[in-house]
Every structure is written in structure tokens, then in C-alpha cells.
Amino acid sequence: MPDTKKLLRKFLKWRYKNISNKTFVHIMSVVVGFLAGLVAVTLKNMTYFIESVLKMGVVFSQNQLYFVLPTVGLALVFLYVKFVHKEPIQHAVSSIIFSLSKKKGLLRLKDIYTPLVAAPLTVGFGGSVGLLGPAVKSGSALSSNLSKLFHIDAKTRSLLVACASSGAIASIFQSPIAAIIFAVEVFTLDLTMLSVLPLLLASISGVLTSYFFLGNEALFSFSLSEGFQLKDTAFYILLGLGTAVASIYFTKMYFAIFNFFKRFKSPKYKLLVGGMAIGIMLYAIPPLYGEGFGFINNLLDGDHLKALGKTPFDDFVDNIWVVIALLFGITIFKAIAMTTTFAAGGAGGIFIPTMVMGSALGNVLAKVINNLGLGFSVSESNFTLIGMAGLIAGVIHAPLTAIFLIAEITGGYQLFVPLMITASISYLMTKNALDYTIYTKELAKIGALLTHDKDHMVLGLMEMDAVIEKNFKPVHPKMSLGEMLHESVSKSKRNIFPVLDDEEKLMGIIVLDDIRDFMFNIELYDSIFVENLMHGAPEHIFYETDNMKQVMQKFQDSGAWNLPVIKDGKYLGFISKSKLLTAYRRKLITNTR
């Protein structure tokens, strides 16, 4: 180990002398892009291996076994979490945003390998989630720890974490442009040459890694046969409205199911209830199994019977309206199956389930239009694609990612106009109805949300501990004026004094101006007490619940220059407006240069 540290020190010295920071960042972006791509390929192969092992038996020929598989997978994840990870698995993208906002881009070592274990077990055994989130989390953790090893500063480390996410997405979807846009939209990076070039290098590295290990086979087997036709514009607008409603449903259902599972105090009960529920849904609707890329490809090929698989309704699928009903059932139950998988303790991502739900909805709408008997005809494969874009734009609030992703992975650049129509309508309606996404809602509550609004972003990056001052001399309410002057005022350089009881709870404050007129009147030293002089603070800052945006608002509303901080019901210190504004200015300069 000492030899390793010595070699690292030698390398760092050599690097500082021979490689500029800018060049080193570019080299690192290529490296983290490759590593993230390798993680994505590994996740894919591990998951497909588990699925293929299960297929070797009678699992997929007898739907009854669907009932038990998700429970087995969730149980294996539960055992891993209990004995190895030893804490609940966090949502991948949300935890990365929190790290960028509050931990200077630092992720733990266990975040590298835990997604590689938990996600394949969850998805391979039928959990209705995706692999993109775990790939992004593992790749980002690799990037973060590598940056820490090479003593890279916090701002550059955050950029390299975003580079890792681009590499992972580029590797999974073989879509480098959409990968860059995802990092900009979701991680709110500034689109400058300083950030674009590393993101581009990471994306290229990630996609080349995918080509090297997986070949040139496209993710979706789609060949565009019909381009955009002006007469279909109204239907694409209708699809935008439909995907907006579906996006709102998707998000609300996510939080509703999580709230339902909070009733179960034991993870074992969550596992059993969740596993049983997923099993029932898989028995009735087999395409809910796993990620669902096969389902999307079958729809794009026009084979809806293969997409639906063997269901209890096979005797009725000759009727197109039964097929439409089953596909609409996938639209409804994909969100339920996905969230149930998460709430029961599974690991995965929401991005790919969003695509599955969107593809089903788009195909349903196209089939309804084509079978109403009104003489209209639209391309079902095109609507399947554009439905995916609509859901991505609405659920994740990332319309540009949606547009370029679908265009890249299908080569369907002729569909740019309908993609823009549907994605923009879905995004605007969903954004108007829901301020936050699945990724960001909980982060917004704790003030850890990064946004493109510079003011809000800087406040989100600030840490309360950095601005709390503790060099205030406390006084007791039973102190006399004389005791206060001799024991606190004479020894303090501050003009404000917190009044604390025996349990260090804040009873009030005294400002030097409150006693200035009579503080030298010796006759009053023994007759006036602190409890007669103290008064309440104009406002209180609560350490556990207030974020920096709320702190700034309290200063603005109260007009105070110093406000006390309360932690666990006890006095902690003060925040001064001057120090707060100085810290804000420094953070703003650091993150905009």
C-alpha cells in the first residue's frame, strides 16, 4: 500500500509539471466515459445472463412461475442490502444530484458495485424497472472516486460525474448527442465550451465502448418508412396531450405507491407484498417483465401479438379492440409495476419504463385512429416512437433529451417536427401541473435541487454549516445586569447575546443597544435581570428543515442582520446577513467562471 501511494504521488507531481489542467480534464473525460460505458455493458450482460438462465427452464412457458420470480429477485436484493450494503438503496439520479449539490460531487465506493449487484437481480428476475439509472450511478461513482484519487477540485469533479452519466447513456442507447443533452437538462450544467468538450469526449468514449463489446446492432430494429405528413399534425398534438396526462399520472402514481408502502414498517412485508403484486401483474401482462426493450421492438415491427406475449386473454386477441385494451393496460400498469418494484426494495431506473409506457400509449392511439372507421390512417411505428418522446419529456422534464434520443436511436430524423410537437406539448403541460419530477421533488424539500436559475442554484450549493457563527457569548435569564456585563459583554466582540436556559434552549436575545443607555449605571447592576431585558428574535432558522433559500427569505422578511439557528430544539449559533451574502457572492463567482 505505501508503494502505491508513493507511485501516485510521483504521478501527480509528473502530471502537474507536464500536463495542463485543461488537457488532464479532457483525458479524464475519455477515461470516465470508457469506464461508464464498461459499467453499462456489464449491467446489460449480467441482466441478460440471469434472464437467459431462467429461460433455460420452464419459466417462460408457464406463466404461473411469473408469480414467484419477482419475489425471489427482491429477496436476493434484500439479503444483499441487509448484509453487505447495510442501508436502503437510494434512487440513482436523485442521489447524484444531491451529491453535486451538497457533497461537492463525492460519491462512495459502495456506489460503484452496489448497482452492479442489485439492479441485475431486480431486473433479471422480473422487476419492472430499467438499467439506465444504475449504470449512471455506478459510472458516476467511479468518476467521483477517480477524481478524488487524482486530487481534482470539486467543480471539475462535478463535471466529470456528469461526463460519466453521458458515457453510460451513450453506451446503452448508442446516442452520444442525447447523452450530452441529458447531462445538461437533468444535472443543469452550463452549456459552455468548457463543459461541452469533456461531455462530448465522454459520450464518444462511451458509445465506442458499446460498439466494441456489443457490435453495431441497433437498440431498436426500426426502419423509417413514412415521414412526417402535414395532415397528421392534429393527431401528434393529440398524442402530446395524451402523453402529458400519462406523465402526470406516472408521477402521481409513483409517489402514491411509495406513500402506501410506508405503512409497512418492516422491509420483509414490503418485499412480500411488492413481490406478490408484481407477480400478479406479470401473470396478466407478461410484457411488464424486466426492462421491456423486446416489447418496444415488437411494436415497432408491427407485431403486437408477439409484443403482448402469452396472456390469459389469448382467445380474444383476434379482436383489435381487445389488443388495444391490453396495450392500454400496459400503459396503466407499467407505472404501477415499476414503482412497486422500487417500493418493495428493488433497484433500477425510471427512464426505460417511461419509454415502454410511452411506446404503448403511442401505439394505442395510432390503432384507435386507424380502426375507428373514419378513413384516417397513421403510422403505428411512428406513433410508437413519438409516444416514447412524449413520456420522457413529461416525466423527466427533459424535452430536448427526448427529441434527440428518439431521433438518434432510430435514425428517424425525418420525424423531428412531430417529435418537437409532441414533446413540447407534453413538457409544457406537465411542467405547468407538476413543479418537480420524480428525480427532484424530494431534493426540492431539502434545498438540494440544482436548477438553471443561477440564484436558486447557488443557494442550493451553499451549506448552512459554512455560515453559522458560534462566537456569541450566551447569558442566562437569571443573570443580573452586572453579571451579564462582567461575564459576557466585556468578553465578547459581538453586540448580540443569546439567552439560554439550563438545557441550552433559546429563551430570547439581548442586543447591546437594549442596555446601552444604562449599562454604566452601577446602581442597577443588582436590580435588573436578563429575563427583564430579553426579547424574542425577529425570526428563527431551523437547522433540520430550513434550506438556504428559506434562510435568505427569512432575512428579507424580518429585516434582521443576525438570526439564531436552532438544532434539535437547542441553540446552535447565529447566521449574519453579511456573512451569508459574502458566502453567496463567493459561491456565485466560483460557479460562473
In the chain, the domains with their CATH numbers are: 2-214 (1.10.3080.10), 230-445 (1.10.3080.10), 456-590 (3.10.580.10)
Distance between CA atoms of 486 and 483, rounded to whole angstroms? Answer: 5
The predicted pLDDT at position 36 comes to: 95
Instruction: Give the sheet arrangement for strand 468-469, strand by strand.
Output: 468-469, 570-576, 562-567, 541-542
Per-residue pLDDT at 459? 67
Buried b (16+ CB within 10 A) or exposed e, 378-403: bbbbbbbbbbbbbbbbbbbbbbbbbb
- What dihedral do alpha carbons 283, 285, 286, 287 form, nearest 10°? -160
User: What integer pLDDT is reported at residue 215 of this predicted model?
Assistant: 75
pLDDT, residue 521, reads: 86
- For residue 359, give the nearest of 410, 433, 416, 434 by alpha carbon: 410
Report pLDDT for 193: 65
Residues of the chain with pLDDT under 70: 1-2, 57-66, 190-193, 217-225, 411-412, 446-461, 589-593
DSSP secondary-structure letter at 128? S
Question: What pLDDT is attached to residue 199?
Answer: 93
Which ranges constitute the DSSP H helices of 301-453? 304-308, 320-343, 351-371, 380-396, 399-410, 416-433, 441-445
Widest distance between CA atoms in the chain: 102
Check residue 373 and give its pLDDT: 83
Nine-digit cell at 27?
483525458
- What angle, 0 to 180 degrees and rounded to 10, lies between the N-to-C axes of helices 233-261 and 267-284? 150
DSSP conformational letter for 84: I
pLDDT given for residue 58 in this prediction: 47
Query: Which residues are CB-neighbours of 177 under 8 A, at least 6 positions away?
Result: 203, 404, 408
Q: What pTM value is reported for the model?
A: 0.80
Dist. CA 202–CA 30, nearest whole Å: 5
Q: What is the DSSP letter of 88?
A: P
Q: Positive or negative, the Cα torsion across 382, 41, 125, 89?
A: negative
> Cα-flanking dihedrals φ and ψ of residue 535, to 5°?
-145, 165
Mention every residue, 6+ apart, whose C-beta is less than 8 A from residue 360: 295, 299, 327, 328, 330, 331, 334, 387
End-to-end CA distance of the chain: 38
pLDDT at 490: 86
